[in-house]
Amino acid sequence: MKICRTIEELTSAIEEVKQQGKTIGLVPTMGALHEGHKSLFKRARAENDVFVSSVFVNPIQFNNKEDFEKYPRDEQKDLSILEECGCDIAFVPTAEEVYKQEPKEFNFGKLEQVMEGKQRPGHFSGVANIVSRLFLWTRADKGYFGEKDYQQIAIIKDMIRQENINIEIIACPIYRDEDGLATSSRNQRLSPEARKIAPKIHQILEKSFLQRNSLSLSQIKRFVEDEFKKVKDFDLEYFLIVDDTTLQPIHTKKPEHGVIGCVAVWLDGVRLIDIQRYY
Ligand code: AMP
């Protein structure tokens, strides 16, 4: 595995690959790699000649300084996981390197006025800055993203349209621990007691899924909110039922559109997110 720390090292490694006519799959990450990341690596490895990944905790997508500082970092461990997963090129830059050129302001309109975008102002512009740069530097044919960050995928699809970047975005299903908790770098920050409570997020969502034929979407919303209230350690930030493409809240299902529920909840000082597809 080649480790690149500068844009120049990366772009010259990519040039070599491109000259050989090989396809490139990219998985951008913020490190603290876990099984969820590995599920993306597996696909990128299998579906491309060359598998590139990046490990970069992107400062400009954090609107909370403490969250940025507390974000788990372990470069050596991440690099050995990437190597194990068959990564060909690992890009591990500093913030100075990535932002030699000032970040620009992205605007995603309604797509970012709900859920994560609404709760975390500037977050998606920060994500779009790093992801667009990674797409340009790696010249990847395919970019792999997890559905755990569902809104992020919609934003990235819009970003490549705005920037005219030719890449296929591959949305990968959420990887869960055996007890149903979506794996996340933030899970490491949960106390052992909180870790036992956390799977209730998925359990509540699954329970609501089973009732989708007898309840209206508004009733499902209320049901989920009530279930979260019953667990005293949870502090629900939002639960929204949205159109799976426009991400706008809906109360009645339209036949041609999918419907998903998106949740953000605080537990033990850690903010966790998850989704549930209803239709
Ligand atoms: P992160 O390092 O948290 O920025 O995540 C890097 C990529 O891995 C993003 O596309 C995430 O959506 C994806 N990812 C993180 N956790 C999971 C998971 N449990 N299942 C599937 N994809 C995930």
Q: What is the pLDDT of residue 185?
A: 93
Residue 216 Cα to ligand 1 middle (Å): 31
Output the CA–CA distances (angstroms, integers) from residue 88 to 91, 138, 172, 196, 197, in the order listed. 10, 12, 21, 37, 38
Ligand 1 contacts CB of residue 272 (under 6 A): no
Which atom of ligand 1 lies closest to the CA of 34?
A: 16
- Strand 259-267 with 270-277, pairing: antiparallel
Distance 185 CA to ligand 1 centre (A): 9
d(CA 16, CA 201): 46
Phi, psi dihedral angles at 76 (to 5 degrees):
-60, -45
Measured CA to CA, the distance from residue 279 to residue 115 in angstroms comes to: 20
Atom of ligand 1 nearest to the CA of 184: 16
Place of tokens 């997110």: 273
Residue 149 Cβ inside 6 Å of ligand 1? The answer reads yes
262 close to 273: Cβ distance less than 8 angstroms = yes
Query: What is the torsion angle, in degrees rounded to the nearest 10, for the CA atoms of residue 268, residue 271, residue 275 and residue 276?
Result: 20
User: How high is the pLDDT of residue 132?
Assistant: 98
The pTM of this model reads: 0.97
Alpha-carbon distance 210 to 113, whole Å? Answer: 29
Q: Other C-beta atoms within 10 Å of 19: how many?
A: 8
Please report where in the chains the tokens 């991400």 appear, as a residue.
247
Ligand 1 contact, 143 CB (< 6 A): no
Q: Which residues are marked as active site?
A: 37
pLDDT score, position 79: 98
Helix (H/G/I), strand (E/B), else coil: 204: helix
Distance CA 253, CA 4 (A): 47
Q: Give, for all 279 residues of the chain, the pLDDT tens digit.
A: 999 999 999 999 999 999 999 999 999 999 999 999 999 999 999 999 999 999 999 999 998 898 899 899 999 999 999 999 999 999 999 999 999 999 999 999 999 999 999 999 999 999 999 999 999 999 999 999 999 999 999 999 999 999 999 999 999 999 999 999 999 999 999 999 999 999 999 999 999 999 999 999 999 999 999 999 999 999 999 999 999 999 999 998 877 889 999 999 999 999 999 999 999
Closest CA to 159 of 118, 185, 203, 128: 128
**Which tokens belong to 166?**
């030719």
CB of 37 closer than 6 angstroms to any ligand 1 atom: yes
Give the position, in ligand 1's atom list, of the atom nearest the Cα of 174. Answer: 20
Residue 120 token pair: 């975390």
Top mutation candidate among 26, 33, 40, 176 for ligand 1, by most atoms within 8 Å of CB: 40
102 touches 65 (CB < 8 A): no
CA distance 259 to 212: 11
